[in-house]
Amino acid sequence: MLEPGPHGARPRRMLTPNNIMLYGFLIVAALYWLLPLYVMVVTSLKGMPEIRLGNIFAPPVEVTFAPWIKAWDSACTGLYCEGLKVGFSNSVLILVPSVVISIIIASINGYALSFWKFKGSEVFFTILIFGAFIPYQVLIYPLVIILRELGLFSTLGGVILVHTIFGMPILTLLFRNYFASVPAELFKAARVDGAGFWRIFVQIMLPMSLPIFVVAIILQVTGIWNDFLFGVIYAGTRNFPMTVQLNNIVNSSQGVKEYNVNMAATLLTGALPLIVYFISGKLFVRGIAAGAVKG
């Protein structure tokens, strides 16, 4: 009696021409994008005498963290030589309330526009989406006047208000499309059981919405932390966020150009968005795939 042969799918060859081309392209693309980061890191760990030798790709002969300490603690950012630590504090004070307030309001708006449609809700939603595509530059001067009249110009509160307003349209679109992809039967069953607006939102919608909240957090954290325009216009000299102070350090025309300090300051400024992406990257993909761009 013949023994049965092997079952299951035939093993796939790993080194096929298509795989070689695909992974080759991905490796080249990764090297292309990582090369500037490598140059920044090695330059930030060198002293100025070594940098003057001109080989930007060579690893540091003698590693030093003095440029990082100076960038954080004592680099001149204009009239003040207090490093990036002040800008970091300002950026955090702007970021946290802007992200929290905009996401809370946008999630409630998206939920209401998905399941609790009222008369004129579609018109309201259209106007909200239209606001997401208005160029920031068009509204700069009107916002200056509005913040001045409210007494918020050159304050952290004014910058928080601006970021919250500009973040809500696109976030509302994301939450509305995500909640619209939730089976309507869940909502109807909750209504039959007597649940109201807030109970359905808190007990049913929120536990299912972790991926889209991660998407919203990443978008807001990245956009607000990397913002330069609103910070330099509305914050005021003593409230400049980290990005504005980085610009002042890099473009300083006084003294010797300290490239190691500039690179260290740049890495410090970009560290938070990178950390957020590394921690929540998988959830970001899940949120996009689960309906963040449906509709």
Domains by residue range for the chain, with CATH: 17-64 (no CATH), 85-292 (1.10.3720.10)
The pLDDT-based confidence of 69 (bands split at 50, 70, 90) is very high
The pLDDT-based confidence of 87 (bands split at 50, 70, 90) is very high
Half-sphere exposure of 241 (CA within 13 A, CB side): 28
Question: How many Å apart are CA 159 and CA 152, to the nearest integer?
Answer: 8
How many residues are present in the chain?
Answer: 295
Backbone angles phi, psi at 47, to 5 degrees: -85, 165
- Where is 258: in which H helix or E strand? none
Structure-token pair, residue 93: 């004070």
Please write the tens of the pLDDT for every residue from 157-193: 999 999 999 888 889 888 988 888 888 888 888 888 8
Question: Is pLDDT of 132 > 50?
Answer: yes
pTM: 0.83
Structure-token pair, residue 54: 């001109």
Question: Is pLDDT of 2 > 60?
Answer: no
Which has the higher per-residue pLDDT, 234 or 14? 234
3-state secondary structure 122-145: HHHHHHHHHHHCCCHHHHHHHHHH
Which has the higher per-residue pLDDT, 289 or 196? 196
Question: Is pLDDT of 90 > 90?
Answer: yes
Please write the tens of the pLDDT for every residue from 149-158: 999 999 999 9
Question: Do residues 144 and 224 make contact, with C-beta atoms less than 8 angstroms apart?
Answer: no
DSSP annotation of 46 reads: S
Question: How many Å apart are CA 235 and CA 98, to the nearest integer?
Answer: 14
Structure-token pair, residue 189: 């069953």
Question: Mean pLDDT, to the nearest integer, of 208-233?
Answer: 90
Instruction: Kindly compute the dihedral angle of the four CA atoms of residues 108, 130, 157, 174, in this order, to the nearest 10 degrees.
Output: 40
In this prediction, what percent of the chain has a pLDDT beyond 90? 42
Question: Is pLDDT of 25 > 50?
Answer: yes
Structure-token pair, residue 64: 């030093």
Question: Mean pLDDT, to the nearest integer, of 210-225?
Answer: 89
Please report, as a single letter, which amino acid is at residue 186: L
Question: Is pLDDT of 55 > 90?
Answer: no
Question: Is pLDDT of 4 > 70?
Answer: no
- pLDDT computed for residue 294 by the predictor: 46
Please report, as a single letter, which amino acid is at residue 276: V
For 14-23, 135-144, 214-223, which range has the lowest pLDDT when averaged over its residues? 14-23
Which residues lie closer than 8 Å to 268 by C-beta, 6 or more apart?
A: 68, 71, 72, 84, 88, 242
Backbone angles phi, psi at 261, to 5 degrees: -65, -40
